[in-house]
Copies of this chain bind each other. A is one copy, B any other.
Amino acid sequence: MLKPAHLIDTKDLTKQEVEEILERAWFWEKNREKQLMPFAGRFAANLFFEPSTRTRFSFEVAEKKLGFHVLNFSENHSSAVKGESLYDTVKTLVSLGVEVITIRHRDPEAILELVERNPGCSIVNAGAGALAHPTQSLLDLYTIKKHFGELAGLQVAIVGDLAHSRVVRSNLWSMQKFGIQVILSGPPEMRDPELERLAPYVPFEEAIETADVVMMLRVQLERHESKLFTSAEQYNQAYGLTLERAKRMKPGAIIMHPGPFNRGVEIVDELVEDSRSKIFEQKANGVFVRMAVLEKVLQGGTERENIVEKWASIG
């Protein structure tokens, strides 16, 4: 029996492992019309303790394209299922024959504790609180690489609600590993001092003009108690990607957004499907990247023991 590997965060991956995943995703994209199904008849499960239909569907499509039977579990009451209870649920699924489980959970500690206890299957983090969202980061990398060819030397501006985004952390790790210069921007009230030890904070109007990738983050105005912005329009005017700002973007620069996006808040309607926007292509790419990730964690073990150890390491 191979020891199962996991994907908890991008920082557990070496540069070479990320490259292998991106290359394999490209294999799946090229062969997307073929019914290869290397895992036909085997079982995967999606445990979503926080609702996210779109991410769950992306994993479900990836799993089914790989040939898996899929078990779906969704629940809103996150806090209840922690510690013993999450472990017992996962261990039950393993007993039923499930080999890989994707988990979305509000509390990042829940997934870490689970993996530490060795539940006997591969775990893929599908979004943990505001901490990590590794498959989103990998698909972002894949999307950028497909467009620019080379990653090193690019500048990516991540703009918006930095404090509440799980994508920023995962992206900082993986992008910097590839020589991408990440800059942060957005309303001062949504800054996160911890992140700024890793990447510089830059005024929005400046970031717009220097970045090769303008990555807008979802803003949930209702989350901010201070009520700095009294309306979507007000936010959009100050920190949204408007037509005027898009005009000032570098030639060849692209627009990205991890979704779900708010039209008219962090990005104006007209730009969502603009020729520079990769927003829906990101979703398409996500399927191929997740196929590669699922495949990789399931191949963990034997001569890859060292890698596996590290994949499982969650410090």
Residues in A lying within 8 Å of B, measured CB to CB: 32, 35, 37, 40-41, 43, 45, 53-54, 57-58, 60-61, 64-65, 69, 71, 73, 84, 88-89, 91-98, 259-261, 263, 269, 272, 280-281, 283-284, 286-287
Contacts and interface: CB of A to CB of B under 8 A. Distances in A.
A43 B71 contact: no
Contacts of A259: 92
Contact of A284 (B53, B58, B96): B96
Contact of A32 (B40, B84, B97, B269): B97
27 contacts: A32-B97, A35-B41, A43-B61, A54-B92, A57-B71, A57-B73, A57-B92, A58-B96, A60-B71, A61-B69, A64-B69, A65-B97, A84-B263, A84-B269, A88-B260, A88-B261, A88-B263, A91-B280, A92-B280, A92-B283, A95-B280, A95-B284, A96-B283, A96-B286, A96-B287, A97-B284, A97-B287
Nearest to A53: B73
Given A35-B40, A84-B269, A88-B261, A57 B283 contact: no
Given A43-B64, A61-B71, A61-B97, 8 more contacts: A43-B61, A64-B69, A84-B263, A95-B284, A96-B283, A96-B284, A96-B286, A96-B287
A265 to B, nearest CB: 11
A98 B64 CA distance: 12
A246 to B, nearest CB: 19
Most-contacted residue by chain B among A40, A88, A94, A269 (CB, 10 A):
A88
A64 B45 CA distance: 13
A232 to B, nearest CB: 12
Shortest Cβ-Cβ A-B pairs, 8 listed:
A95-B283, A35-B41, A95-B284, A95-B280, A64-B69, A61-B96, A84-B263, A54-B92
A61 B261 CA distance: 33
Nearest to A91: B280
A64 B95 CA distance: 16
A140 to B, nearest CB: 15
Contacts of A84: 263, 269
Interface-central residue, A43, A69, A71, A95, by most chain B CB under 10 Å: A95
Nearest to A262: B84
Contact of A57 (B35, B93, B261): B93
Nearest to A286: B96
Contacts of A88: 260-261, 263, 272
A205 B175 CA distance: 62
Contacts of A263: 84, 88
A290 to B, nearest CB: 10
A89 B65 CA distance: 21
Nearest to A56: B71
A69 B61 CA distance: 8
A287 to B, nearest CB: 6
Contacts of A89: 53-54
Most interface-central of A35, A92, A287 (chain B CB within 10 A):
A92
